[in-house]
Structure 1
Amino acid sequence: MFVYEKKLQYPVNIKQTNPKLAKIIITQYGGPDGELGASLRYLSQRFTMPLPELKGTLTDIGTEELGHLEMIGAIVYQLTKGLTEKEIKESGFEDYFVDHTTGIYPQGASGTPFTAAYLQSKGDAITDLHEDMAAEQKARSTYDNILRFCDDYDVKDAIRFLREREVVHYQRFGENLRLLTDKLDEKNFYAFNPEFDKKCFKNCMKKK
């Protein structure tokens, strides 16, 4: 059960509209390495994690990613609030505007709608944690790319906060991976999952 706190994790107070920048930043709302995919990935993977510490980390980070999704939504909303027709045309925002007006829609910077194909939940703790670490680095890279095109201090301030959190999440997942491999018999784990594969093997042999 989640408890909603009625404030953003980090303040977003943008004074100047910039629809061109909004079209780029929307990718962290519903793009391939965005916050929506991150939250769904972690909150799905947590169920099959074998250790309570791992379940806790994925729940905490998955919940925080929902807060980051809210921040990105607020940034895009403030960058596009009260746009004039002239601003829409001059910024190249008309293709987004035609489909969504200034509503917040989960898509990438290219305009591709969000898809669950962006994430994976494998049920193998080592596999999932490696994916999570890669996902955090891809999100960090995306924020780096956004900052290259951003000259608004108010936007950069919020984006830098989000970028820093991706680095922290990467570190937490790395710690979890070390904890996991310390507690598992790595050789047997990589050869087969003794709680699952042995049963499958026996059932297959019976059928033959």
Structure 2
Amino acid sequence: MRYLHQRYNMPTDQAKALLTDIGTEEMAHWEMICTMVKMLMTGATVEEIKEADMGAMYAIRDKAIYPQDSTGNPWTAAYIQSIGDPVTDLYEDMAAEQKARAVYEQLLNLTDDPLLKDALRFLREREIVHFQRFGEALRSVEEFHSAKRIF
């Protein structure tokens, strides 16, 4: 997990704690998304699965949950962007949160299910909060680095 790796490179306790909190919550987001997908797949017929262009997925995985993007690329540790520089990594985290927010907004456009929309809105709002919290950590790290400078 990106946040666990980055936690050990953060120079401030505030940034370390923040990464632990957000990393834990992100794991819960995965669980929520998997639950939503499972609920949407429950009761789906093979014909409905084919109509949704998910036949290949069904052939390999049946209705099992398998983390992948919308084009079928499985989740991989290659998605983790971390180079070990706290400032760079926090900017990358902020960008990732904005990308996730945009995805949730696009997913909201793809459904008319009110319960699914509520869950997606909740996740979208949490990405906004994470973006803001990463900004707080960034300020903490930048202040730490500024205080270390000898003039």
Q: TM-score under structure 2 normalisation?
A: 0.93
Q: Give the equivalent residue in structure 2 for 1:104.
A: 65
Work out whether 1:158 is the aligned partner of 2:113.
Answer: no
Task: Please report the RMSD computed on the Cα atoms of aligned residues, expressed in angstroms.
Answer: 1.5
Moved over 6 A (4+): none
Query: Quick check: which has more Rg, 1 or 2?
Result: 1
Aligned to 2:8, the other structure's residue is in SS state helix
Work out whether 1:67 is the aligned partner of 2:28.
Answer: yes
Q: Give the equivalent residue in structure 1 for 2:93.
A: 132
Q: 2:13 aligns with which of 52, 63, 76?
A: 52
Number of aligned pairs? 149
CA distance in 2 between partners of 1:88 and 1:180 (Å): 48
1:170 maps to amino acid: F
Residues 43 and 58 in structure 1, CA contact (< 8 A), matched pair in contact too = yes
Residue identity over aligned pairs, in percent, reads 53
Aligned to 1:170, the other structure's residue is in SS state helix
1:111 maps to amino acid: G
Structure 1 unpaired stretches of 5+: 1-39, 189-208
Residues 98 and 131 in structure 2, CA contact (< 8 A), matched pair in contact too = yes
Q: TM-score under structure 1 normalisation?
A: 0.68
